[in-house]
Amino acid sequence: MKAVKKGTVRSKVKRGDQVVFVAGREYSRFDNSGKRTPLRGKVIAVDPYKGKVKIEGAMIMKRHRKAVPQMNVEGGIIEQEAWVDISNVAHIDPETGKPTRIKYDVIDGKKVRVAKSGKVIPEPEIKRRSETKSNEEE
């Protein structure tokens, strides 16, 4: 049986980051001219405990859902993103636009993410559900 991790598990990939595939099915995408262009996309969900991420428009799978009229659930074939291992994606360097690894540095007393080129990777702006509800009420 697999040991359960306790405490806080951190991931350098955060929701809203721009990433590119470096391995897997989406790495071997081909365009119309026959050139391989790995998929680039925005992270929409992160599960640091399992080491998985969901990327917008990547690893699309189809789920067949049965309709439940009592709960107002429509049936049909639903396309959604599947989980991908974090090791299959890499951050995009803001300076060069190529895949890069990142590290943490303390700059002006703040802990920030830094790419190999030395450029600071900005924190992604994320709209939380509670923020959007409070904005609608005002």
d(CA 120, CA 87): 21
Written as one letter, the residue type at 134 is S
Indicate the pLDDT class of residue 33, thresholds 50, 70 and 90.
confident
How many domains does the chain fold into?
1
The fraction of the chain above a pLDDT of 90, given in percent, is 53
The tokens for 4 are 């359960």
**42 domain-assigned:** yes
124 belongs to a structural domain: no
126 part of a folded domain: no
Banded model confidence at residue 59, pLDDT cuts 50, 70, 90: very high
- pLDDT at residue 26 is higher than 80: yes
Tokens linked to 74: 């429509």
Domain extent for 41: 18-65+77-99
pLDDT tens-digit map of 71-99: 999 999 999 999 999 999 999 998 888 99
Does a structural domain hold residue 116?
no
Q: What is the pTM for the complete model shown?
A: 0.77
- State the Cα–Cα distance between residues 22 and 116, nearest whole angstrom: 16
User: How far is C-alpha 85 from the geometric centre of its chain's CA atoms?
Assistant: 10
